[in-house]
Structure 1
């Protein structure tokens, strides 16, 4: 089936992560079901612009978010570009179909005080080292939950204070860790009991198996619910908080980009918008005109 060939291409040639490939598969399977329902056919290579537009309309009517619709449309674009590349079609049905415009929901990071409260008030009574490590690693390194689940034992050098992360597109990056975090991780290693087939993974659950992203989400949500009333209490918010806090303390945005594993500086610049008060403070301290405002 052409869908399987496309997914194989993403895995072997584009070297996309299993998580990304799963997302592509889900998006394309949703379209296949729609095409089968409306056209009584499984050959989506025959789809035209009208069918793509009808698919978008149905998604909207089912209250699928514009962000999700755009992701599905992006998956379809990639699929039909692949068919163009191998000569199966002569024109893409997604050509000239624009993504939906929307204003992304503002992500509000945890405050530094909230994260300090987590350390001072919550973690003092926490006996579960694994759960503490999950929160601390996500907040102190800014890595993605998928990257945390995929951390391997051989890529963690606690003596050197470094973690090698395999990110999107199998790109590698080295992330420094504090002595405090290294000490917590060393304590966890003493309690770690992986099953034979999961020995290569640094973090394993109580059954000795590799962590799932769902488990990580549940743990993070549980602890953040104890310190904040903010709506977003996900692993990504800890990544957002990491970036915001280090930028607030003067870290160069290019260095933060490298740590986060962003391919584009624009992705990192999102976090510079998180704290307008900090930006105002920087302006008032640094701009030559700022100190003269009172004299105007």
Structure 2
């Protein structure tokens, strides 16, 4: 339980525990932060007090070198960069407050930054898994439901669309349409990030799925121009599509629940594996910078490394002399 009895004006100057308590009182009563946030701040400051006690220094006398050493220790112990950044944020706020109270002359956390977090690779399906998902046919009570979900899957994987671009598709092009598909030319015209329009090729499998869905869509259609609608005729939301895709991946027997952006990653990775054309992938995805697309080269290298490990006779030799 956190006791918050003192106000900022009653802050003691010689007792670390009392300083922490007064600060927690400030963030809860005066800043009105959520109880959970106050608890997290309390935990961070308890950690700071423990470090200070070990170094035999009071909180007001902590120096920049102390903070840097403790951050390095946390990093070496395996704490994540994000976790360290959150701890630093809590400490920084505490020392800002101490400075405003006139209790310290400098903020020891001022120029300390958390270690850079390595960017995680985007999660992508393998080619076989992607085909397994796209080829899955559900014995649905409502054929229109299966046709719609199949078409959604084909467009996400076959065109690399963002979920917002997909839900924005209309049946036909118009002045108000955010996006549409020209089946005759085999192109999807979408409105991407930054209100930038781009055109993406639509493959035969996706066009076939689209044709089947349009045949059955009329059984649900009301007046909404949206391409993808629910049984009541309303435009599908991104959340609805996420739920349906996750369900479809489970029924298709995939070990990993699939979300829409995973299919976009799979599209990009597989095109790059086949073509090696990074610029083309950039254009297809609608990335403003090539650096954003370059993450897929790391995925491509991972794929090549797995192929090498599985197929090359010397992949696991580890210095063993060749036989014969």
Bin for the TM-score computed over the shorter chain? 0.5 to 0.7
> Which residue does 1:228 correspond to in 2?
254
Match of 2:123, SS? coil
Tell me whether 1:117 sits opposite 2:132 in the alignment. Answer: yes
Instruction: Sort the Cα spacing of 1:111 and 1:207 in 2 relative to 1 into closer, same or farther, 3 A.
Output: same
Give unpaired runs (5+ residues) of structure 1: 1-34, 43-53, 74-94, 284-296
> Which residue does 1:252 correspond to in 2?
277
Contact 1:194 1:204 in 2 (8 A): yes
> Which residue does 1:210 correspond to in 2?
235
1:212-236 Cα distance to aligned partner (Å, 9 max, x none): 1111111111122233223x52111
Shift of 1:279: 4.2
> What's the C-alpha RMSD, in Å, of the aligned pairs?
3.6
TM (norm. structure 2) is 0.55
Which protein has greater RCO, CA pairs closer than 8 Å, 6+ apart?
1
1:161-182 Cα distance to aligned partner (Å, 9 max, x none): 0111101110000011012211
Which structure has the highest helix share of the two?
1
Instruction: Sort the Cα spacing of 1:218 and 1:41 in 2 relative to 1 into closer, same or farther, 3 A.
Output: closer
TM (norm. structure 1) is 0.59
Contact 1:110 1:238 in 2 (8 A): yes
Instruction: Sort the Cα spacing of 1:228 and 1:203 in 2 relative to 1 into closer, same or farther, 3 A.
Output: same
Larger Rg: 2
Contact 2:133 2:254 in 1 (8 A): no
More deviation, 270-279/242-251: 270-279
Shift of 1:116: 2.2
> Which residue does 1:182 correspond to in 2?
207
More deviation, 270-279/98-107: 98-107
Shift of 1:36: 8.7
Shift of 1:37: 5.2
Instruction: Sort the Cα spacing of 1:96 and 1:194 in 2 relative to 1 into closer, same or farther, 3 A.
Output: farther
